[in-house]
Amino acid sequence: MENGQSKPRNLRELRASGWVSRPVKQEIRENFLRMLASREELFPGIVGYEDTVIPEINLSLISGHDMLFLGEKGQAKSRLMRSLVRFLDEEIPFIDIPAAPFHDDPYHPISRVGRQCVAAWPEEEVPIGWWHRSDRYAERLSPGTKFADIIGEIDPAKLAGGESMSTEEALHFGLIPRMHRGIFAMNELPELDELVQVGMFNILEERDVQIRGYPIRFEIDVVMLFSANPSTYNRSGKVIPQLKDRIGSVIHTHYPRDRDLGIQIMEQEAAVELDGQYPVVVPYFMREIIEQITIQARKSKYVDQQSGVSARFSIANYRTMVASARQRAVVLGERPAVPRISDLGHLYSSSLGKLELDLMGSHQMSDRQVLDAVMAEAIRTVFDEYVDRHGLAEIAEIFSKGVKIEVGDLISSEKYAGLLKRVPPVWDKAFEVNAASDPAMRASCVEFVLAGLYSMDKISRSQHRGSVVYEINR
């Protein structure tokens, strides 16, 4: 209850309080419209969907539709489904008796024990509990899910105790009935067994339940949400047509439409603390490279594009890059630490488990070779944006011909100090710390220049005992 009022604890007090019962979809719609009218932030933490996905969700909530979120992995489908909880009332009352299988609406109980309680007991003796919105959401991953898990089954123990199969008390109810007056989400719908899909027909259309041929006729009040990958959802036979037909709205998700947006999502979700005892300063070009690696992977013919490349790919790689720089800070005593291209040599551990190779396109390439090719193209793309032909010639002049330069993630920044004695104006936008005066930023700049020149075949590169040697072509 609001304004510091105590919560009603029995049915008489609840009626006196003026509380009004609402179906859950009406509850969500009215709370959503109130928040929309007051200009509240509707989906905090969701970035990049303001003009695409969010408007579709808004209309679905107003329409009272069950929804399917259709998109590749790492497109915030689960987060979006979970975010709908905020449109529920903070708490709702229910008949608080141990034998009740559901959180029954005190005014409209659907369980037999709930109806008997309201009919036989004085209102002041009907106990009322309060169900918080955080508990009114449940989700399930489809693979391995059985009919009994989400709908219900005859309980042998109850039959052994003398209950008749023709009574409601002999049943064990699954997640969907127990989410009566709440939200239920099913992830990876196409992986759901066909018999279970059939069992969901009446729940979506008629809102009743049938278990083992025993009809349980009561109005289940639940919002149904689903998620799926387009490659499996659109495959014939994976989702039976009758179930597709009963889903009110299909919400199409997508990856970030531009790199800067991807960087914003990456930094938000990575939530890396850059301050502290060993601070890290990340040049913007290094953030761009990390996100561009993901973009290139999503374009690569060597990567299975039906599987997709999740936003978690960027997030994990960003954390690994920062961790490598921080390790250097501890070992070499550098403050602040600045990530370098050589730190990307550690991305195998955070990347390879998230890439699925296209067996036709990759041929005999190993997963490491595919990642190397993707990273090389990403570095080239970002480098090319910073350096035009004039800038490239200017940078090339900085390095003396015939010089061999060794770089590595545990080489002191001071050793790079003499390699780049002046910073070209074209680099000014790349740095948050002055590269002309900060040795760690200078080192990062040097490695980016060398990696960029190598990507354009201006210099050669060799690897030796964990370090990389660049050689300026004579």
Task: Among 215-224, 322-331, 383-392, name the one with the lowest average pLDDT.
Answer: 383-392
Phi-psi region of 5 (alpha: psi -120 to 50; beta: other; left: phi over 0): beta
Q: Which residue has the higher pLDDT, 403 or 447?
A: 447
Give the tens place of pLDDT for each residue, 110-151.
888 999 999 999 999 999 999 999 999 999 988 888 888 888
Orientation of helix 284-299 relative to helix 259-270, angle to 10°: 110
User: Is the model's pLDDT at 421 over the cut of 70?
Assistant: no
Phi-psi region of 258 (alpha: psi -120 to 50; beta: other; left: phi over 0): beta
Q: Which of 1.10.760.10, 3.10.20.30, 3.40.50.300, 1.10.3260.10 is the CATH number of 11-252?
A: 3.40.50.300
pLDDT bucket at 165, cuts 50 / 70 / 90 = very low
pTM for the model stands at 0.86
User: Is the model's pLDDT at 244 over the cut of 60?
Assistant: yes
Q: What are the start-end ranges of the E strands in 31-132? A: 67-70, 91-95, 128-132
pLDDT computed for residue 433 by the predictor: 45
Mean per-residue pLDDT, 420-446? 64
Q: How far apart, in whole angstroms, are the C-alpha atoms of residue 235 and residue 248?
A: 20
pLDDT computed for residue 384 by the predictor: 87
| Domain spans, the chain | 11-252, 259-472
Spatial contact of 24 and 110, defined as CB atoms under 8 Å apart = no
Average pLDDT score over the chain? 86
Token output for 376: 């090389």
User: Is the model's pLDDT at 217 over the cut of 70?
Assistant: no
pLDDT bucket at 365, cuts 50 / 70 / 90 = confident
User: Is the model's pLDDT at 436 over the cut of 80?
Assistant: no
Beta bridge partners of 390: none
pLDDT bucket at 467, cuts 50 / 70 / 90 = confident
pLDDT computed for residue 294 by the predictor: 97
Q: Coil, strand, or helix at residue 96?
A: coil
User: Is the model's pLDDT at 326 over the cut of 70?
Assistant: yes
How far lies 127's CA from each of 119, 124, 352, in Å?
13, 8, 55
pLDDT bucket at 415, cuts 50 / 70 / 90 = confident
User: Is the model's pLDDT at 4 over the cut of 80?
Assistant: no
Most confident of 301-310, 331-340, 416-425: 331-340
pLDDT over 70 for what percent of the chain?
Answer: 83
Q: Coil, strand, or helix at residue 101?
A: coil
Q: How far apart, in whole angstroms, are the C-alpha atoms of residue 204 and residue 245?
A: 10
User: Is the model's pLDDT at 163 over the cut of 70?
Assistant: no
pLDDT computed for residue 92 by the predictor: 98
Mean per-residue pLDDT, 395-401? 60
Separate counts of helices (H) and strands (E) for the chain: 19, 14
Q: How far apart, in whole angstroms, are the C-alpha atoms of residue 322 and residue 315?
A: 11
**Which residue, 355, 462, 471, 330, is CA-closest to 409?**
330
pLDDT bucket at 156, cuts 50 / 70 / 90 = low
Q: Coil, strand, or helix at residue 438?
A: coil
Most confident of 193-202, 259-268, 347-356: 259-268
**Cα angle for residues 7, 13, 17 (degrees, 5° grid):** 70
User: Is the model's pLDDT at 204 over the cut of 80?
Assistant: no
Q: Which residue has the higher pLDDT, 364 or 293?
A: 293
pLDDT bucket at 201, cuts 50 / 70 / 90 = confident
Cβ-count burial 141-178 (b if 16+ within 10 Å, e if not): ebeebebbebbbeebeebeeeebeeeeeebbbbbbbbb
